[in-house]
Amino acid sequence: MERERRILQRIVAVAAILPVLAGLYGVLFGIDGLGGGTPVNVSADSHFRYLSGLLTGIGILFLTCVPGFETKTTLFRFLTLVVVLGGLARLLGLYLTGVPSLTMLAALAVELGVAPLLCLWQTRVSGLARDTTKDAAKDAAIDARTER
In tens, the pLDDT along 123-139 reads 999 998 876 666 555 65
In tens, the pLDDT along 20-75 reads 999 999 999 999 998 877 888 999 999 999 999 999 999 999 999 999 988 999 99
Closest by alpha carbon to 118, among 43, 10, 1? 10
Give me the pLDDT at residue 37, please.
74
* DSSP classification of residue 35: -
44 class by beta-carbon count within 10 Å (0-12 exposed, 13-18 middle, 19+ buried): exposed
Please answer whether residues 13 and 66 qualify as being in contact, where contact means their C-beta atoms are separated by less than 8 angstroms: yes
82: CB partners within 8 A, 6+ apart? 58
